[in-house]
Chain A
Amino acid sequence: MVLVLALGDLHVPHRAADMPAKFKSMLVPGKIQHIICTGNLCIKEVHDYLKSLCPDLHITRGEYDEDARYPETKTLTIGQFKLGLCHGHQVVPWGDLDSLAMLQRQLDVDILVTGHTHQFKAYKHEGGVVINPGSATGAYSSITYDVNPSFVLMDIDGLRVVVYVYELIDGEVKVDKIDFKKTATMHS
């Protein structure tokens, strides 16, 4: 059982002061094995905070990130799964699943994690799974109205990944989960 935290679009301090306290109290150092971040942190303070939660931190560049050295895309293998990471402002039309599927094929990954729209999505197609963890701070988005703070925790176990999405709705943390199983035909 490998826990992967996926989050992004925090936009601290431009659009939000900080992650919600209820989220911060749930994210305890030492419990998570990997963190993948879609980008738009935006400042070093957030980077350091995430690093304190887990040293294996992967970040891709969002268009507001202070650190210009983050890569545009990133791929990594965790267990049986290949994961791809990209902020998503590069893929037009923004949030379009078919265009994102193309990126997924290009990166050749089972799970593609992107952000930018600040709206949680978990979508399965024959090529794999596309996940958008939303905005961990509920930051303003020109694309999505009424953004609720959200992040995703993936539990990777063999050929199975359970995606837990945590959303802060009206001050309460609501959890939902989605199961995905990797089929043999997904990848050679």
Chain B
Amino acid sequence: MLPDGGADDEERWLAEGIAGVQQNAFYMHRAVDSNNLKDALKYSAQMLSELRTSRLSPHKYYDLYMRAFDEMRKLEMFFREETRRGSCSVVDLYELVQHAGNVLPRLYLLCTVGSVYIKSKEAPAKDVLKDLVEMCRGIQHPLRGLFLRSYLSQISRDKLPDIGSEYEGDADSINDAVEFVLQNFIEMNKLWVRMQHQGPVREKEKRGKERNELRDLVGKNLHVLSQIEGVDLDMYKETVLPRILEQVVNCKDELAQFYLMDCIIQVFPDEYHLQTLETLLSAFPQLQPNVDIKTVLSQLMDRLSSYATTSPEVLPEFLQVEAFAKFSKAIGKVIEAQVDMPVVGAVTLYVSLLTFTLRVHPDRLDYVDQVLGACVKKLSGNAKLQDSRATKQIVALLSAPLEKYSDIVTALELSNYPRVMDYLDNSTTKVMALVIIQSITKNTACISTSDKIEALFDLIKGLIKDMDGAQDDELDDDDFKEEQSSVARLIHMLHNDDHEEMLKILCTVQKHILQGGPKRLPFTVPSLVFSALKLVRRLQGQDGDAIGEEVPATPKKIFQILHQTIEALSCVPSPELALRLYLLCAEAANDCDLEPVAYEFFTQAFILYEEEIADSKAQITAIHLIIGTLQRMNIFGVENRDTLTHKTTGYSAKLLKKPDQCRAVYACSHLFWTDDQDGIMDGERVLLCLKRALRIANAAQQMANVTRGNSGSVALFIEILNKYLYFFEKGIPEITNTVIQDLIELIRTEKQSDNSVADPSTEAFFASTLRYIEFQKQKGGSLSEKYEQIKTT
């Protein structure tokens, strides 16, 4: 189409063209100013001749065209004045301009006069327009023809014999208006398509680009059609759409087909699309094989989805026209026809269809499942997806129902859902699993039946256990922790008020998490344990079993599950965690009056303490937890209790460092005293512990004296003093005020003989202890009496 000139040449030609336009425009204006019609015509024709060039690219031609266009507006005004003045009738003018030498300027002038003609109303608009649209056939050169017809379209826009327009004329002139625009459109499209086949083959791409620059010229006609008042749904259905589609299909041009289908969808109202769905969709299979149908289809579905969302009152219409079925079928056909369509393309289509379905028919789970099923069919036969774009689309596909239905249970009912997930690679399966869990926790949805939970765990199995061929090493530590914490959180959302069902749930969860292996158990086991303990407590609250009925859900059964579950931690190994959990279970068993069960849990805890917990700091915490728990036990008979307390005090005395021993031992004193009347109140053994603690503190002091270090044992003595005061108040007879006084003196002595400088915190501790004694003296009653004898100064 273009001679092989360089860009510089083009610039030059454009400049020349513009200069030509400007020069002739100048003379044209002079002629107009002096009402010289003859000269005006002469110079305008010369000006328009610049548009006869073949040397410019579309972009540059447009530049030239616009300048001419602007000048022509002034000329049009002149024509109007002349005809109104009567110096020349419009009919004569219409005839006169046809004498212009070259056809292109002739036609531009004709169109311009035509505009004046219509405005004058001396002839019906429809007649003038018909004449013009026919005459324009005179230009068959694609670029020039397109711009000429574009000119015609522009000036005729406001003069169409539309319903309610001043140019309406007699009845049914609306048909003529439509016919005019359609004709112009069809001819323009033909010209546009013809451009593709001009010039050498090697410039095909360049031509495509140039054609794209011109596409809006063609598309504008469709826009005009959509604006015509008289084009109602019926006219659109009967005339407009079929004629447009006919041209689209028949032109057999890929570029045109893609653009125009998209244009139709953008330009006409959604309501029309809905009612002409069958017609519209039937065009797709007739299009050229390389047309990107899926994009257009997706666009259409997305538009109709939005339509449904913003105007819910039209939803019944969707059902009436069977929109879903039509789309399903159409998509199926497209995918079948385009065998080379990559997976990502097909999935994208299904994502659009699913979005459509969720917005238009959210209550039809069968439709949703159908879409997923169709997707599975397309995916089947392939291995797991490697294409990351396709994977992304699948995640979008699977996430859509989750977002729509805040209740995960609904998504679980989609039979094809897990099948789609099977096609994801391992890491994406995990990502999807996390999306699912997030959806559950975000909506604080509760999943309350064991079979639903079974289905859920199947979906998230990527997180629960190692998948075949999975490379776990690739996962960052922090990411793994976050992952498993999500699973731990999830367990709290699995709940049912019915005890039997809850027990089933616990068993289901246990079954799955025990497959997790040593890396996952430390995260998941505690959650299950606490879930189970909560159930135990609820069962506790239910006093009295049903008469004679065998009730499957009992605390005992749950403790068995608990035992099994905590035992699994040994493979990690996680002795500290297991010990804590055993102690909690012991307490729970205590509250259920199950002495042997509680005892067994303590035994397990002790085994762990003896054999697995070697770190001294860990031991200190562990022993205090044991002491704290044991102190609260009221279920044990004398023998059992003695065994346990004996062991505990034994361990306490064997801690690594003396100060720790001392503290643990005096803590043990509380094992022999509860404020509960039915509980133990053994003053003797309390005192034994306190004295033992004192001995240890003394021994620590001796060691310090030898090494000349600060033993910190003064602090220990003060702590022990405080414990003596505690039991002094409880009324243990062996603890007399003399004993207290002696201790106070001992501390004073030790403070003075301590090698190092007085430690301010120890000073403060002693001072506040003495202050406490003084406070108690002020309390009055028996407390005052007790403390009266004790001197603090």
Contacts and interface: CB of A to CB of B under 8 A. Distances in A.
| A associates with B | yes
Interface of A: 12-18, 43-45, 63-64, 89-90, 92-94, 98-99, 101-102, 105-106, 108, 126-127, 139-140, 142-143, 145, 188
Nearest to B576: A63
Given A44-B481, A89-B621, A108-B761, 7 more contacts: A17-B489, A43-B485, A63-B580, A105-B722, A106-B718, A126-B772, A127-B772
Contacts of B764: 108
B726 A102 contact: yes
Contacts of A105: 722, 765, 768-769, 772
A53 B490 CA distance: 25
A99 B489 contact: no
Contacts of A139: 530
A140 B580 CA distance: 14
A17 B726 CA distance: 40
A142 B588 contact: yes
B661 to A, nearest CB: 15
B587 interface: yes
B792 interface: no
* Candidate in B537, B587, B772 with the most chain A CB atoms within 10 angstroms: B772
B771 interface: yes
| Consensus secondary structure, chain A interface | loop
Contacts of A89: 621, 624-625, 628
B530 A106 contact: no
11 contacts: A14-B488, A15-B527, A64-B580, A89-B628, A105-B769, A106-B715, A108-B761, A126-B771, A126-B772, A127-B768, A142-B584
Nearest to B715: A106
Closest 6 CB pairs of A and B: A14-B526, A13-B488, A108-B764, A105-B768, A17-B489, A142-B587
A99 B726 contact: yes
B670 interface: yes
Nearest to B585: A142
A14 to B, nearest CB: 4
| Consensus secondary structure, chain B interface | helix
Nearest to A16: B492
A92 B670 contact: yes
Nearest to B485: A13
A90 B666 CA distance: 12
A63 B613 CA distance: 14
B767 interface: yes
B632 interface: yes
Given A102-B719, A108-B761, A140-B530, A126 B775 contact: yes
B628 A92 contact: yes
A188 B767 contact: yes
A117 B527 CA distance: 19
A94 B761 contact: no
B579 to A, nearest CB: 10
Contact of B631 (A44, A45, A64, A93): A93
B143 interface: no
B768 A93 contact: no
B441 A108 contact: no
B485 A140 contact: no
Interface string B492-530: 110000000000000000000000000000010011001
Interface string B108-125: 000000000000000000
Contact of A127 (B629, B667, B771): B771
Contacts of A15: 492, 526-527, 530
B482 interface: yes
A143 B670 CA distance: 17
B534 interface: yes
B670 A93 contact: yes
A63 B622 CA distance: 9
A63 B719 CA distance: 23
Given A99-B726, A105-B765, A45 B485 contact: yes
B627 interface: yes
Contacts of B621: 63, 89-90
